[in-house]
């Protein structure tokens, strides 16, 4: 009985040992590598560089008053379409008390002087008609009288200008009325009724009452890195993508490249400007952020193209591995053309039906 158990134990040990050897042998066998393949496609290749910026009107006109005072009336709001000469606001004059007092005093003096000169002129006139005095003396008195009348009128106009911003008998429109100087859309009205405003003058640009722009003439303003600026030139085509407008792109044409760069975050950036070609019915709000794809080079229509990840290189020579039989590949040198960073044009070396090994 002991002999039987001894033999059984030996058999079990040998079995476990044999199974372990078999398991380790199977584990050590390498699985065959199966390479995936890709195929060339026919597509247009466009080589582009990208610039970021915003779309703004070419001209934004700030409307400022010609007189200082308070906003009495506002006739426009943001988004209104207006024509040149349309009313924007009315200014209420708040006169300076010193100037007002001086103007009133001048008017009173002019009245007193005119009354005196009128009495004197009438007396000289009677004497001249009687032949007592010479004509020269009469003409001098008439001149003095007319001058006094003009002074009274000037003093009255001066007082009216200080108080109302307009001469009392003027046929011209008062400069307290602010009108648009251009056609366009009102982009902003940064003042409210009752706000104080300052006139434009030599020392002060004045208070902006509204900003008006022609929204049909838009430009893209952006910046491009110094590593790319050498590849672009004026007249190149741009494709604008506006983040706020989905599934719509806009055509543009590069019209300006800054001759001097500006350092930003350690890199030199050059400002560029492009004219945006808006089609009928297209509208872009001022200030939208946009991305401009500048077309550096492109193919004429569709060409044979391959994903760049399928290319392999031996020095300066590009090649691919073409499947000639299941999981058997042949090395072929290819001639490449334009690349867009993902796909590259294949000029020669393979056909559309070839299957290309994807190198691991």
Which tens digit of pLDDT belongs to each residue from 314-344? 888 888 888 788 878 888 888 888 888 888 8
Q: Do 196 and 69 share a structural domain?
A: yes
With contact defined as beta carbons under 8 Å apart, do 82 and 184 qualify? Answer: yes
**187 lies in which domain range?**
61-91+176-213
Residue 5 lies in a domain: no
pLDDT tens digit sequence for 107-146: 888 888 888 888 888 888 888 788 778 888 888 888 888 8
Residue 201 lies in a domain: yes
With contact defined as beta carbons under 8 Å apart, do 204 and 173 qualify? Answer: no
Strand pairing class (237-242; 218-225): unpaired
User: How many angstroms separate the CA atoms of 61 and 186, rounded?
Assistant: 10
pLDDT tens digit sequence for 255-264: 999 999 999 8
Residue 343 lies in a domain: yes
User: How many angstroms separate the CA atoms of 318 and 332, rounded?
Assistant: 9
Residue 21 lies in a domain: no
Q: How many domains does the chain have?
A: 4
Residue 10 lies in a domain: no
Tell me if the pTM is above 0.75: no
The mean pLDDT value of the chain amounts to 83
Q: Do 294 and 307 share a structural domain?
A: no
The pLDDT of residue 3 = 65
Residue 125 lies in a domain: yes
Residue 16 lies in a domain: no
- Classified as helix, coil or strand, 220 is strand
For 22, 108, 299, 302, the CA distances from 42, given in Å and listed in that order, are 52, 93, 11, 6
Q: Do 282 and 221 share a structural domain?
A: yes
User: How many angstroms separate the CA atoms of 20 and 28, rounded?
Assistant: 12
CATH of the domain at 116: 1.10.287.470
Q: Supply φ then ψ for residue 64, to 5 degrees.
A: -125, 155
CATH of the domain at 341: 2.40.420.20
Q: Do 201 and 328 share a structural domain?
A: no
Residue 128 lies in a domain: yes
> Which of 149, 124, 148 minimizes the C-alpha distance to 136?
124
């Amino acid at each position: 009985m002991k002999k039987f158990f001894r033999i059984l134990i030996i058999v079990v040990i040998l079995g476990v040992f044999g199974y372990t050897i078999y398991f380790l042998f199977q584990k050590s066998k390498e699985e065959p590598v199966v390479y995936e393949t890709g195929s060339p496609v026919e597509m247009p290749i466009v080589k582009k560089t990208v610039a970021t910026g915003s779309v703004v009107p070419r001209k934004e006109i700030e409307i400022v008053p010609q007189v200082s005072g308070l906003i009495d009336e506002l006739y426009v709001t943001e988004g209104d379409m207006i024509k040149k000469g349309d009313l924007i606001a009315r200014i209420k004059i708040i006169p300076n008390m010193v100037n007002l007092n001086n103007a009133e005093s001048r008017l009173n003096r002019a009245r007193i002087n005119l009354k005196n000169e009128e009495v004197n002129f009438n007396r000289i006139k009677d004497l001249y008609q009687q032949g007592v005095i010479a004509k020269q003396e009469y003409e001098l008195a008439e001149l003095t009288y007319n001058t006094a009348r003009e002074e009274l009128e000037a003093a009255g106009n001066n007082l009216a200008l200080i108080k109302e911003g307009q001469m009392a008998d003027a046929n011209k429109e008062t400069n307290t009325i602010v009108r648009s100087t251009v056609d366009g859309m009102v982009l902003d009205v940064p003042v409210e009724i009752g706000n104080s405003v300052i006139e434009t003058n030599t020392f002060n640009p004045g208070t902006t009452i509204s900003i008006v722009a022609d929204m049909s003439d838009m430009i893209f303003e952006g910046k491009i890195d110094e590593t790319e600026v050498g590849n672009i030139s004026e007249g190149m085509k741009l494709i604008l993508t506006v983040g706020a407008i989905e599934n719509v792109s806009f055509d543009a044409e590069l019209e300006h490249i800054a001759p001097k760069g500006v350092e930003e975050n350690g890199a030199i950036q050059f400002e560029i400007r492009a004219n945006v070609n808006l089609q009928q019915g297209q509208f872009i709000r001022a200030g939208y952020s946009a991305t401009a794809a500048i077309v550096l080079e492109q193919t004429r229509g569709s060409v044979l193209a391959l994903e760049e990840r399928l290319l392999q290189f031996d020095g300066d020579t590009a090649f691919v591995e073409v499947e000639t039989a299941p999981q058997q590949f042949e090395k072929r040198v290819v001639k490449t053309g334009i690349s867009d960073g993902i796909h590259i044009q294949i000029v020669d070396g393979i056909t559309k039906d070839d299957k290309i090994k994807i190198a691991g």
